[in-house]
A and B are shown apart, each in its own frame.
Chain A
């Protein structure tokens, strides 16, 4: 039996402060897969990248995120917050550094239940135990409030990014 895994939308941009992928969640699907790659742009001094949900008007939601991640590098850490202002953050810190990840996400478009995402992402960071090392995150993203999510935003701090993002839906 053929499976059902559909490309809904993809966006790419180079040397930008942020990129929105709008109207990628809809009433057709309940479960989605997101793949992204946020790289420090050439000549940029960007130090971090972040992701946010877009609300029903297409505006970025800037508060009320619940996150819980395992962080793995040379050590193990646990990140937990009910007041985050972003999700899926990552450190960049040098040329060619990127926050590359994937996330499965349930019920973003439904306005009567919580949105829940499970992500894993990877980056290469400086000065972990005195050396540059890989750092991976695995964990959960959600919103404290029940509301409709229609898209995603990736943005950087302290410089521009090259951003690629694609959103897929699982047919039911």
Chain B
């Protein structure tokens, strides 16, 4: 059952089923380089649901990657990751008739959650946009299973249009994960992040 005092979705059960989603923590990021979730209630939840909305760097001139690392003993882990994913983008800002497909593999030092090559923002530079997405994280705290991550992100690139990303990852270790570290490569960012526990 979900911990007392937590926000819960679905207060009135359907057909006796238990509401399954419990908000563990919501954070508002404002021009920060990373966001940490350090109380993930891993002994209670085998599955976590991480969401990010309105993630924006305000910069549109260089590569942005939306990443995650897990924490073990409170320390960000820089290795033992397996990571595969793909993103599609428009090949040009003006023509939009050719699509680039980016394949991510053999990435061992991060979990990629999303990609926009030239910054999150609308094609019209006067209009701001953002990246939004989610990840399902399985068995973070389990000492007998690798932690797995399934993620999807959609964001706009100033030069390349929308960039849908789908990715998969493992933290290929049986270490008990006790936190998540979310960051944008090379930039500060603003936006909303929320971590939920999924009842199982």
Contacts and interface: CB of A to CB of B under 8 A. Distances in A.
B148 interface: yes
The main secondary structure of chain B at its interface with chain A is strand
Contacts of B103: 72, 76
A135 interface: yes
A113 interface: no
A28 interface: yes
Given A120-B166, A171-B10, A5 B84 contact: no
Interface stretch (B12-20, B24-32, B36-44): B12-20
A122 B84 contact: yes
A6 B13 contact: yes
A124 B82 contact: yes
A56 B159 CA distance: 51
Contact of B10 (A3, A76, A138, A162): A3
Contacts of A39: 145
A100 B138 contact: yes
Contacts, number: 125
A70 B144 CA distance: 29
A72 B85 contact: yes
B161 interface: no
A72 B150 CA distance: 13
B85 A168 contact: no
Contacts of A171: 10, 14
A35 B49 CA distance: 11
Interface residues of A, number: 39
Majority SS at the chain A contact face: strand
Interface string A92-113: 0000101011100000000000
A68 interface: no
B200 A122 contact: no
Question: Which size bracket describes the interface of B in this complex?
Answer: 35 or more
Given A28-B14, A98-B146, A120-B150, A5 B83 contact: no
Contacts of B139: 37, 164
A10 B200 contact: yes
B195 to A, nearest CB: 15
Contacts of A7: 17-20, 198-200
Contacts of A134: 82-84, 105-106, 168-170
Nearest to B83: A134
Which of A8, A122, A135, A166 has the most CB atoms of chain B within a 10 A radius of its CB? Answer: A122
**Leading 7 A-B pairs by shortest Cβ distance:** A122-B168, A100-B148, A136-B168, A6-B17, A7-B20, A134-B82, A3-B9
Interface of A: 2-8, 10, 26, 28-29, 35, 37, 39, 70, 72-74, 76, 96, 98, 100-102, 120-122, 124, 133-136, 138, 162, 164, 166, 168-169, 171
Interface of B: 8-11, 13-15, 17-21, 46-47, 82-86, 101, 103, 105-106, 136, 138-139, 144-146, 148, 150, 152, 166-170, 172, 174, 198-200
Given A7-B17, A28-B15, 8 more contacts: A2-B10, A5-B21, A6-B17, A35-B198, A100-B146, A100-B150, A122-B84, A135-B84
